[in-house]
Structure 1
Amino acid sequence: MLEHRPVVIDRTGADIHDEARRIRAHGPVAPVELPGGVRAWSITGHAAARLALSDHRFSKDPRRHWTAYVDGRIGDDFPLIGWVLMDNLTTTHGADHTRLRRLTAKAFTPRRVAAMRPGIERLVAELLDELAAVPPGRPVDLKAAFAHPLPSRVICDLFGIPPEARARMLRGGETNVDTTLTPEESAANVEQWHREMYEFVESRRRTPGDDLTTDLIAAKEDGSQLSDSELVGTLHLLLATGTEPVMNLITNAVAALLTHPEQLALVRSGEVDLREAVEETLRVQAPVAHLPFRFTTEEVVLGGVTIPRGEPVLINFAGIGRDPALHGADADRFDVARKDKEHLSFGHGIYRCIGAPLAWLETEIALTALFDRFPRLTLAVDEGELEPQATFIMNGRLTLPVLTEPAVVGSPSDVTV
């Protein structure tokens, strides 16, 4: 089969959907070039991704299965080195992954998640009260004022992060998905992030609390506990994935509904359930766009191409949800009434996101309360003015300026965001 020239990934994430279309034009699995000139493979086909996410020949462990890294050809100057150095579910394979998943999943049991509902509802009401205090006609950034503080405060409360340390400890994960960083900036972020998390773990070890960090320190599985490196890496993962994807899901859902008023009307009338609108958002605007990394443990034929052993593979969720092979010629169209909304935005099989139930709970409570409280909520800018995040890994908006109420006639409005 003729090999195509790799699509060079735009590290700024200026248009992840156009990029996914260009990758898909070469097939459901196609070569790409990552920052630093590193060759990799991107999966945009739904069927191929489903297979890869359940195939043991796709490892997440770079230390064992990325040939170029093992051989020393990938060094600390690789711009995405932060995704290689972590020691958690994103970088383990086989029995190690199973052990970590069992230990970590105890943080998100159905009973524990259900018990969080009253606290989430109170927090949502508090954040909406603050939004309601904004004068009519004055734009407010819904991402900064609502979509970010909700999941970040929930996950920090869950793990016992003290209020004065939250911004600092969350910043490491937020920075790690910024694919415009230089290698030096990325390495410095990883080093600082690790140091701060180690200090927090030690503080919890000295003074246990009623929180999940304390539970993870004490957790055992078949006599095994998390090592210090695994514990720090797991906290990195859970704090980051407990904030960024949920923030993007809420932001993307609001943006999609406000820019498709006929779709919002279907939800408001009860003709379409809000959950269906969230599912469609997950399909057409996956909160994670292009996730690193998997590594082939042997030569694999997938989607009509042969991926050599030991090469990096990315799961292109932004492209998978819009795969025309599954969703037809209108796969790019946001349609809450669409019958088939199948997607893989929370992963699949043993790689399904363990925090998905909590993400769903937060999103449903947030959107229900938001649209009930502000029935005249509108965008404060044209849709074309909404800027993307500076990353090709995540799929979100830089800001989401909205008006909770129209301007009062005869009153000046502050148009700054």
Structure 2
Amino acid sequence: MHPYVLDPTGRDIHREAAELRARGPATPVELPGGVRAWAITSAELIRRLLADPRVSKDAARHWPPWSAGEIPEDWPLHLWVSARNMFTAYGEEHRRLRSLVAKAFTARRTAALRPRVERITADLLDALAAGPDRVDLRERFAHPLPIEVICGLFGIPDAARSGLRQAVDLIFATTTSPAEALANHQAVYAIIGDLVADKRRSPGDDLTSDLVAVRDDDGSRLTEAELVDTLLLLVSAGHETTVNLLDHAITALLTHPDQLLGVRSGAVSWSDVIEETLRWQAPVANLPLRYAVEDLVLDGVVIRRGEAILTGYAAAGRDPAVHGDSADRFAPGRADKSHLAFGYGAHHCLGAPLARLEAGVALPALVDRFPDLALAVRPDELRPVPSFISNGHAALPVSLRGV
């Protein structure tokens, strides 16, 4: 079977996911630069793979094209593979790196962030109320909320936030040219490097200072490269998924007025809305990359040792084998809203409770403050971000006080 060439623009992620599903639960695809991988679209198969010790995320150990130097430094997805942090670690290395940051995302510490999330939300809503009626809600609300939360956690100064946001957006973009990808690679490391140097000079009460202290007190626990790449992972993953979650939850309710009415009446809970949004519009559509540690036989398909695997979370969320004929429908009242939007197994997202907290505070506050909120364009005029990884809108134009 010829590999399916993924659309780097992410123009229609769910149509593409359906086409991949039709080719089988595991099908060969072509990534930018002609790189080959297996796309996994079955929810049940993804769960099996993500819990299987024969599947790795360490390219240096388990992806021959990488260790042989066949993947150029200007490959657009380079940072998804090259970074040395818990996202790309395997086995004991993964457990070591995850343990260094897991305590920062415990249920107790996450719950303690609620007052800060509420304050940031209130400030953003006040700013919206003082401005024009028509606004880009992704730019003015969905994006700044998680950015403010994560930058506060990591002590990122205001002056660095704009550049960091731009760099993270380009990491998730899959339409960048090799030259743009390489320049962004250098830019993001310069920003994180400056942050680390600043915290060494002037430590603060933040997670960056904590990780720098771990590195400097005992280098065997965390190398300098792991320190920088761990910060890159936590800052980028710490806001991108939440931006898309807020974006799609707002869009879903504004395009399903019956469901919004159900929320207002109390027939549908905000938790229902959040979980159904995560299922219906996974914030990360396709996640690169994993690798077969040995030959894997999956429902009649053989993935050979060293072959790369792309995890299709958007496809899994709408898997008819799980959600039946209504899989493509936004229905927060459905009994089974199971999804894999935050991953599964050892690599399940540490920040999932924080993303749920932010959405659980921000969404009801927005709807209460602007009861006549409406899309300012037709739904078919909304355009996606240029990515088959990140699943969100380039802009979310709304009228705050109705059309």
2:140 paired with 1:145? yes
The answer for the alignment partner of 2:344 in structure 1 is: 348
The answer for the alignment partner of 1:86 in structure 2 is: 83
Equivalent residue letter for 1:283: R
Paired with 2:347 and 2:337, the residues of 1 have a C-alpha distance of: 20
Runs of 5+ unmatched residues, structure 2: none
| Aligned-pair identity (%) | 53
2:401 paired with 1:405? yes
In structure 2, the residue corresponding to 1:169 is in which secondary structure?
helix
Specify whether residues 77 and 157 from structure 1 end up closer, same or farther in structure 2 by C-alpha distance, changes over 3 A only: closer
2:251 paired with 1:255? yes
Equivalent residue letter for 1:340: D
Residue deviations 1:268-309, cap 9 Å, x none? 110111100111000010000110010111111123311011
Tell me which of 15, 20, 28 is aligned to 2:17.
20
The answer for the alignment partner of 1:197 in structure 2 is: 192
Paired with 1:222 and 1:271, the residues of 2 have a C-alpha distance of: 53
The answer for the alignment partner of 2:391 in structure 1 is: 395
In structure 2, the residue corresponding to 1:393 is in which secondary structure?
coil
Equivalent residue letter for 1:352: H
The answer for the alignment partner of 1:319 in structure 2 is: 315
CA contact (8 A) 1:170 1:239 kept: no
Paired with 1:304 and 1:48, the residues of 2 have a C-alpha distance of: 12
Paired with 2:308 and 2:66, the residues of 1 have a C-alpha distance of: 10
Q: 1:224: how far off?
A: 4.3
In structure 1, the residue corresponding to 2:326 is in which secondary structure?
coil
Q: Which moved more, 1:45-54 or 1:222-231?
A: 222-231
2:294 paired with 1:274? no
The answer for the alignment partner of 2:223 in structure 1 is: 227
CA contact (8 A) 1:13 1:390 kept: yes
The answer for the alignment partner of 2:208 in structure 1 is: 213
Q: 1:222: how far off?
A: 9.9
Residue deviations 1:79-124, cap 9 Å, x none? 3112122111221111111101111112212221111111110110
The answer for the alignment partner of 2:354 in structure 1 is: 358
2:42 paired with 1:50? no
The answer for the alignment partner of 2:126 in structure 1 is: 129
CA contact (8 A) 1:257 1:264 kept: yes
Tell me which of 372, 377, 381 is aligned to 1:376.
372
Equivalent residue letter for 1:274: W
Tell me which of 69, 72, 77 is aligned to 2:69.
72
Equivalent residue letter for 1:142: L
Q: 1:125: how far off?
A: 0.4
Q: 1:225: how far off?
A: 2.5
Paired with 2:207 and 2:87, the residues of 1 have a C-alpha distance of: 19
Equivalent residue letter for 1:280: E
Equivalent residue letter for 2:93: D
Tell me which of 143, 158, 180 is aligned to 1:185.
180
The answer for the alignment partner of 1:413 in structure 2 is: none
Specify whether residues 300 and 222 from structure 1 end up closer, same or farther in structure 2 by C-alpha distance, changes over 3 A only: farther
Q: Which moved more, 1:302-311 or 1:255-264?
A: 302-311
In structure 2, the residue corresponding to 1:51 is in which secondary structure?
helix
CA contact (8 A) 1:80 1:183 kept: no
Residue deviations 1:289-345, cap 9 Å, x none? 110010111111123311011011011111000000111122111101111011010
Equivalent residue letter for 2:244: N
Q: Size of the alignment, in residue pairs?
A: 402
Equivalent residue letter for 1:258: L
Paired with 2:84 and 2:220, the residues of 1 have a C-alpha distance of: 16
The answer for the alignment partner of 2:115 in structure 1 is: 118
More helix by share: 2
Specify whether residues 67 and 219 from structure 1 end up closer, same or farther in structure 2 by C-alpha distance, changes over 3 A only: same
TM-score using structure 1 length: 0.94
The answer for the alignment partner of 1:165 in structure 2 is: 160
2:41 paired with 1:41? no
In structure 2, the residue corresponding to 1:14 is in which secondary structure?
coil
CA contact (8 A) 2:87 2:347 kept: no
CA contact (8 A) 2:246 2:359 kept: yes
In structure 2, the residue corresponding to 1:306 is in which secondary structure?
strand
Q: Which moved more, 1:218-227 or 1:340-349?
A: 218-227
